[in-house]
Amino acid sequence: VKGGCDRIRERLRQRGDNRPRLKVFTTCRWTVREMGGYSIDPNRKDEAPLKKDDHTFDALRYMVMGIHSWKGIV
């Protein structure tokens, strides 16, 4: 989970051309909402997120991890 979150964070950062590798548009209301509320469970030492209102964020994380695993895509 942490690796997927790190990959999302990397893709949201601007590169040398001042453009991110991932854009989340405001029309993606649920994704934007869940990203804002995504937090780590304070009762766990493995930095696992709270499992609440995270379905679209999980899907985004799976997509980003899938893209990262394809050969030739950076």
Closest CA to 11 of 22, 24, 25: 22
Give pLDDT tens digits for 28-70.
998 888 888 777 778 877 777 777 777 888 898 888 888 877 7
State how far the Cα of 66 lies from the Cα of 73, in Å rounded to an integer.
Answer: 10
Amino acid at 17: D
Looking at residue 39, what is its pLDDT?
77
Looking at residue 74, what is its pLDDT?
53
Residues near 68 by Cβ (< 8 Å), separated by ≥ 6?
A: 7
pTM, two decimal places:
0.71
